[in-house]
Chains A and B, each alone.
Chain A
Amino acid sequence: MSEYFEVRLSGSGGQGMMLAGIFLAEAAGIYDDKNIVLCKSYGPEARGGACRSEVIISEEPIVYPEVQEPDLVLAMTQEACNKYYKDLKPGGIMIVDPEYVREIPDANIEIFQVPLTRIAREEIGYEITANVVALGAFAAIVDWVAINSIRKAILDRTPQSTDALNKKAFDCGYTYVINNYKEKARKIG
């Protein structure tokens, strides 16, 4: 089967999961010229409610538009982790932020613990850049979307005044995975 990947970005309202989904969808769809579907789902709360965005990336046209068995899940809350690790494809990838996800599920999955929020707060100075740190980590773990495409999608969608911050956030996420998961980085998928 040709390349077909399902990604779920899940967390709590305010953590930037919706925007991260848009970045990823535009990176793969517009800059990598793949087929994509982006689905967003959130509760009535603007902040604090469970939310997720889902991106399907495929060489072939995408017929059924919903994620059924994700290849990769980003979980920014314990609730998201508990809820979604079961849906993962066997051997699938989970990126968690240990600041929020304390209990790691014991299952046949590849776990990447990346302190996304801490990096965003301490190294970038803005906690809200955690979603961009996460996409840096994503880019270091799998090669489903070209690194430069993700970078470009982020920079094209955000005000120029934030370019330096976003670049740094992306690079910090990327570097953290390369340094801490050397043997696994960009070998999966």
Chain B
Amino acid sequence: MGKGRVAVLSGNDAIAEGALAAGMRFFAGYPITPASEISHFCADELPKYGGKFIQMEDEIASMAAIIGASMAGGKSMTSTSGPGFSLMQENLGFAIMAEVPCVVVDVMRFGPSQGVATVPAQADVMQARWGTHGDHPSITLAPSTVEEAYHVTVRAFNLAEKYRTPVIILSDATLSQMSEKIKIPDPDSLEILNRKKATVDPQQFKPYQDDGTGVCPFASYGDGYIWYTTGIVHDETGFPATGDPDKLTIQINRLHDKINKNLDDIIQVDEYMTEDAEIIILAYGSVARSAFAAADKARNEGIKVGVVKPITIWPFPEEVIKKVSEKVESILVCEMNHGQLFEKVKETVEGKAKMAFLGQYNGKSIKPDKILAAVKEVSSGVFQ
């Protein structure tokens, strides 16, 4: 770390650097392509900062370990790819329910099950939203450049701390494995948020008592506050509230409200040449880069194209998409999957703009020319 500097870093290394700058001092994980470099980096660097790296026996345990570390007051992270992300879902749900801040990085690979380890996809978008069971909110961020991967990771920790919830970073094999030049800022120049700590007398402390903000003050294990938590829906004391419909409703509502009432703070969307656009390409992650290149080419040919790039995927930026859909003719959604965010965009647009989908699921990144061709089809009304 040290003062600001210029470096050539991979997407994975940038995520790990960002985490370190955000104050992450505990990493538990199980190595998996294409995410392993994040583990490697943390194993090398964390001890130098008084942090801990632990390679767990699997991803279930990795997720459990970072929850434990966070409850003891540390900022913690794990990283994985699809197969490991599946294993983490149960404990991810626990972290959401018990309101434990932490960051989970899923570097998306191709295909269901083991899929193909070394090639990119964006097929875990819905898993990031609904992979763990039950009504729950999700904060999921998707960077598209190495520099953005750094800053998105810092932001992921800030959001996790501020809203006491796990934050998921969706990268993909393209972004994580490529290297770019990055200006690593002086860590002192970054805005770093830390969870709100309990200040009441330990005897009076109720771990899930809303202080009016929807986010309860946190007492680290070891701080002298004795408290209980569980994945069972609980009341403000942390003990199960299974027989009380009112208490159940209050807790579930609070989980959602703390996110939904702060959408302006959480949602981040980049817009490119959207002011006069007739066609919008909606893309995120590494595919957004191809979308930008395609939009430039289309503009050169006189087609009015803009790009909307959600960096916050969940909660879904409905307001931005609604606004855009009212002033454009068509929206072309490009994803490296069979159509995941596309469905959400379509639902949000409610027929106000024509919808088109370009999905590529062959382990290759989508080339700008392919998007350009689709844009031309949309422009001439051919594309369905």
The residues of A with any CB-CB pair to B shorter than 8 Å are 22, 25-26, 29-30, 33-40, 62-66, 68
Within 8 A of A (CB), among B176-196: 177-181
Find out whether the CB atom of A37 lies under 8 angstroms from the CB atom of B292: no
Within 8 A of A (CB), among B279-299: 286, 289-290, 292-293, 296
Chain A residues contacting B180 (CB-CB under 8 Å) are 29, 35-38, 62, 65
Given contacts A37-B178, A37-B179, contact A68 B286 (CB under 8 A): no
- How near does chain A come to B293, taking the closest CB pair, in angstroms? 4
Chain A residues contacting B368 (CB-CB under 8 Å) are 63-64
Could you write out 23 A-B pairs with CB less than 8 Å apart? Answer: A22-B8, A25-B8, A25-B179, A25-B181, A26-B8, A29-B180, A30-B6, A30-B8, A34-B181, A35-B180, A36-B8, A36-B180, A37-B178, A38-B8, A38-B179, A38-B180, A39-B178, A40-B177, A63-B293, A63-B368, A65-B178, A65-B180, A66-B365
Chain A residues contacting B293 (CB-CB under 8 Å) are 63-64
Contact indicator per residue, chain B 265-309, by CB within 8 Å of chain A (1) or not (0)? 000000000000000000000100110110010000000000000
Which 4 residue pairs across A and B have the least CB separation, nearest first? Answer: A29-B181, A38-B179, A63-B293, A64-B293
Using A38-B179, A64-B367, A65-B365 as known contacts, list a sample of 7 further A-B pairs with CB atoms less than 8 Å apart, ordered by residue number in A.
A29-B180, A37-B180, A39-B179, A40-B179, A62-B180, A63-B296, A66-B174
B250 interface residue (CB < 8 Å to A): no
B7 interface residue (CB < 8 Å to A): yes
Find out whether the CB atom of B174 lies under 8 angstroms from the CB atom of A65: yes
Chain B residues contacting A36 (CB-CB under 8 Å) are 8, 179-181
Given contacts A30-B8, A36-B181, contact A68 B289 (CB under 8 A): no
* From A30, A33, A40, A65, contact of B289 by CB (8 A): A65
A13 CA / B174 CA spacing, docked (Å): 21
The tally of CB-CB contacts under 8 A between chains A and B is 56
A29 CA / B368 CA spacing, docked (Å): 24
- How near does chain A come to B194, taking the closest CB pair, in angstroms? 33
A22 CA / B10 CA spacing, docked (Å): 11
Find out whether the CB atom of A29 lies under 8 angstroms from the CB atom of B6: yes
Most chain A CB atoms below 10 A, which of B180, B296, B365:
B180
Chain B residues contacting A38 (CB-CB under 8 Å) are 8, 178-180
Given contacts A36-B180, A64-B289, A65-B289, contact A30 B7 (CB under 8 A): yes
Chain A: which residue is nearest B5 at the CB level? A30
A25 CA / B365 CA spacing, docked (Å): 21
Chain B residues contacting A66 (CB-CB under 8 Å) are 174, 365, 367
Find out whether the CB atom of A35 lies under 8 angstroms from the CB atom of B286: no
Find out whether the CB atom of B177 lies under 8 angstroms from the CB atom of A35: no
* From B174, B181, B296, contact of A30 by CB (8 A): B181
Chain B: which residue is nearest A65 at the CB level? B178
Chain B residues contacting A35 (CB-CB under 8 Å) are 180-181
Chain B residues contacting A34 (CB-CB under 8 Å) are 181
- How near does chain B come to A152, taking the closest CB pair, in angstroms? 13
Chain A: which residue is nearest B146 at the CB level? A37
Chain B residues contacting A30 (CB-CB under 8 Å) are 6-8, 181
Chain B residues contacting A33 (CB-CB under 8 Å) are 6
A163 CA / B293 CA spacing, docked (Å): 41
Chain B: which residue is nearest A61 at the CB level? B145
- How near does chain A come to B365, taking the closest CB pair, in angstroms? 6
A38 CA / B177 CA spacing, docked (Å): 9
Chain B: which residue is nearest A30 at the CB level? B6
- How near does chain A come to B183, taking the closest CB pair, in angstroms? 11
Chain A residues contacting B286 (CB-CB under 8 Å) are 65
Most chain B CB atoms below 10 A, which of A26, A36, A65:
A65
A158 CA / B14 CA spacing, docked (Å): 22
- How near does chain B come to A179, taking the closest CB pair, in angstroms? 32
Chain A: which residue is nearest B368 at the CB level? A64
A75 CA / B184 CA spacing, docked (Å): 34
Chain A: which residue is nearest B288 at the CB level? A63
Find out whether the CB atom of A64 lies under 8 angstroms from the CB atom of B177: no
Contact indicator per residue, chain B 147-183, by CB within 8 Å of chain A (1) or not (0)? 0000000000000000000000000001001111100
- How near does chain B come to A51, taking the closest CB pair, in angstroms? 12
- How near does chain A come to B370, taking the closest CB pair, in angstroms? 11
Chain B: which residue is nearest A68 at the CB level? B367
Chain B: which residue is nearest A21 at the CB level? B179
A68 CA / B293 CA spacing, docked (Å): 13
A55 CA / B74 CA spacing, docked (Å): 38
Given contacts A30-B181, A38-B178, contact A63 B8 (CB under 8 A): no
Chain A: which residue is nearest B181 at the CB level? A29
* From A22, A29, A63, contact of B292 by CB (8 A): A63
Chain B residues contacting A63 (CB-CB under 8 Å) are 289-290, 292-293, 296, 368
- How near does chain B come to A66, taking the closest CB pair, in angstroms? 6
Chain B residues contacting A40 (CB-CB under 8 Å) are 177, 179
A40 CA / B176 CA spacing, docked (Å): 11
Chain A residues contacting B292 (CB-CB under 8 Å) are 63
